[in-house]
Amino acid sequence: MLFVVGNLSVQAQEVPSQKQSELIRPLNKKLQSTDLFAQTDEIGASRVAEKPGLVSTAMQWLRSTDLPGDLQIHGFVSQAYITTSDNNVFGNSDNGGSFGLTEAGLNASVRPLPRLQLSAQVLSRRAGKGNSGIPRLDYAILDYQLYSHEANQFGIRVGRLKNPFGFYNETRDVAFTRPSILLPQSIYFDRTRNLGLSSDSVQLYGDVAVFDRGTFSTQFGVTLPVVDNRDTESSLLGLVRDGSLNREVSYIGRGIFETNDKRLRLGISGIWLNTSYDPKNPISSLNPLELGPGGLEFTPVFFSAQYNAERWTLTSEYAIRPFQYNHNFQNPNLNGLHVVGESYYFQGEYRFTPKWEGILRYDALFTDRSDRNGSDWVAENPARRHGLEHSRFAKDITVGLRWNVTPAFMLRAEYHYVNGTAWLSGLDNPIDLRTGRPFDTDQHWHLFAIQASYRF
Amino acid sequence: MNLFHFSIQVRILRYCLSRARSYFGFALFICFLGVKADVRANDHYEIVTNLNVSETALTVNSLRSIFSMSLKTWSDGTKIRVFVLSDDDKLHKAFSKEKLNVFPYQLRSTWDRLVFSGTGQAPVRVNSIEEMRDKVINTPGAIGYLWRANIDENVKVLQIK
């Protein structure tokens, strides 16, 4: 019997190699038939690769040279082309499309001491009227690890930090780390992105091993939010006004549990944001648009869940977003306004091969969860708001395809069908000041986008 | 029950037995193959460090924290420096799946989150097994992985508990 098993095992060892060669043959045939396609691709790729070639040789040199303090330099450049059937997204996209979304970043980090890390990133983002592309300091962090033992770590971070909420916020400008060209807008608003993105803060962080099952990572920060930009003002106050928003002490926290095999990730995050309006002039008949010195509180809570398998990843996030305006705005629309918004999305990603990935997502946003179709809001002021119910919700179905041409270069395309206009930027889709209505927005619209991204 | 029936029953029984035996043999053979493949996969590479690293053994949790870039110092307080091969390298894939129990793409997204949020660094990527060996030999505090064939007395092999 042993002899038989031995014989069999010898045969069996030969079988896989035969099988492999059989498998390879049809593949070769396939390759020949797609040669033509591949050749045209090569031409395109070599054209694209010309510029990165220089960068990557420079990076190669940087990497191979031993740098003091473990200096690391990384960066990315992304360009998107967006076209919409109606409404504007990042520029005048409904009029023949636009190349209005350009993102570029460069960061450096050093470890002068084993437990000390310094890092900074400069970011340029050109996106519609909200972001001009002028480089700004995205983060600058001093990170000191106070305690470290096996999987347990505690430390402190000081500086301008990325706001830790949800799964994607901290790296939302890096195309490679996003599941799609446009992140689910219900949670990762691009119009108030500067407010949400980073803030000057002191943050405590900790990783704790949980019964050999996984790690619980927490971050808690006291912050001064970045509110001094037009898009944030327009979103929070309805218009860009003469005065400005004050920075007031706010809080942010997140906890993520991740199993040891990184398959399951569960997170909860919360923000307690305070800001107030500082009018430039007293209210008078001369400037009827001016507001009083009111304050507002924004206290969203986010729940996140993700499951990662070898081929597919399922992600879902839910947010409940209460806004509370106080009574000092001297404006009937804002005084004492209390609105609770709600957002969620379900998303599936599938890796056909390591190079090709597909994505499918349903994303929903309700500006007021007690008035999901916007009818109550219109009923408050039918003369001005009639027909604008769709500005109070947005439901977005997204389908996309991603091609990782090389580990450093990526191309992708996606299509959105959107019902509603709640997350459109007021700057790209301006409001007529006389009527208080947007000039031209449509409830049902389509968006198509392609993007190329390079990183090092 | 006559003799004819009995002999048929015996025959059927014998036949079933022989089939069962061959199934059992086949199952045993599969197990044997499985074990052999497993041994071979785990046996041909090791986690290695620079000779100045004082540790001789690590827990799986510590190893995972090191390659997730959250554990940054050895027990004597010196810097840990992590080296990896590219995501699609055969050894990197085997190491990720077998030692860390994660897929290479999951490690990549962990490292990307650290680098682009400014809260950590990525491992240094080497282009070949020879470069991996050179870096581990010449960088104080270095940790990486090597095929058995590339291991000699210039690197230290870490035991994983």
Render pLDDT for A164-178 as a digit per residue (tens, 0 to 9).
Answer: 889 999 898 899 999
Name residue A106's beta-bridge partners: A75, A122
How large is the average pLDDT for residues B88-106? 93
DSSP calls for A392-404? GEEEEEEEEEEEE
Chain A residues 262-291 within an 8 A CB cutoff of chain B: 262
Distance from CA of A131 to the nearest CA of B (A): 20
CA nearest B124 in A: which residue? A63
Kindly report the average pLDDT of chain A as a whole number.
81
A105 interaction partners in chain B (CB closer than 8 Å): 116
Percent of chain B with pLDDT over 90: 60
More confident residue, B35 or A78: A78
Asked if B115 lies within 8 A of A114 by C-beta distance, the reply is no
Looking at residue A267, its pLDDT comes to 96
Is A59's Cβ below 8 Å from some Cβ in B?
Answer: no
Looking at residue B144, its pLDDT comes to 95
Phi, psi of A158 (to 5 degrees): -130, 140
Asked if A115 lies within 8 A of B118 by C-beta distance, the reply is no
Task: Out of A303-307, B10-14, B68-72, B74-78, pick the least confident.
Answer: B10-14
More confident residue, A22 or B83: B83
Chain A residues 413-452 within an 8 A CB cutoff of chain B: none
Looking at residue A437, its pLDDT comes to 75
Is A170's Cβ below 8 Å from some Cβ in B?
Answer: yes
Distance from CA of A430 to the nearest CA of B (A): 33
More confident residue, A212 or A311: A311
Asked if B70 lies within 8 A of A151 by C-beta distance, the reply is yes
Q: Exposed, middle or buried, B21 (CB in 10 Å: 0-12/13-18/19+)?
A: exposed
ipTM attached to this prediction = 0.79
Closest partner residue to B29 (CB to CB) among A5, A119, A215 is A5
Closest partner residue to B118 (CB to CB) among A107, A114, A308 is A107
Can you read off the two tokens belonging to residue A95?
């009029």
Instruction: Return the number of other C-beta atoms located less than 10 Å from residue B20's C-beta.
Output: 10
Q: How many CB pairs under 8 A join A and B?
A: 123
How large is the average pLDDT for residues A343-372? 94
Task: Out of A220-224, B29-33, B139-143, pick the least confident.
Answer: B29-33
Looking at residue A16, its pLDDT comes to 41
CA nearest A163 in B: which residue? B117
Asked if B116 lies within 8 A of A74 by C-beta distance, the reply is yes
CA nearest A120 in B: which residue? B118
Is A214's Cβ below 8 Å from some Cβ in B?
Answer: no
Please say whether the beta carbons of A174 and A455 come within 8 A.
yes
What residue has token string 């740098």?
A: A67
Looking at residue B123, its pLDDT comes to 95
One-letter amino acid for residue A287 of the chain: N
Looking at residue A276, its pLDDT comes to 82
Q: Is the dihedral of CA B148, B151, B153, B159 positive or negative?
A: negative
Asked if B118 lies within 8 A of A9 by C-beta distance, the reply is no
Report whether pLDDT(B27) > 60. Answer: no
Q: For chain B, what is the radius of gyration of the CA atoms?
A: 25
Report whether pLDDT(A50) > 50. Answer: no
Band of pLDDT at residue B81, cut at 50, 70 and 90? very high
B61 interaction partners in chain A (CB closer than 8 Å): 150-151, 209, 212, 260
Q: For chain A, what is the radius of gyration of the CA atoms?
A: 26
Integer Cα distance of A396 and A362 in angstroms: 6
Is A137's Cβ below 8 Å from some Cβ in B?
Answer: no
Percent of chain A with pLDDT over 70: 77
Please say whether the beta carbons of B145 and B40 come within 8 A.
no
Distance from CA of B156 to the nearest CA of A (A): 20
Choose from A149, A150, A252 for mutation: most chain B CBs within 10 A: A150
Asked if B116 lies within 8 A of A111 by C-beta distance, the reply is no
Asked if B117 lies within 8 A of A145 by C-beta distance, the reply is no
| SS3 of residue A163 by DSSP | coil
What residue has token string 């054209």?
A: A47
pTM summary value: 0.78
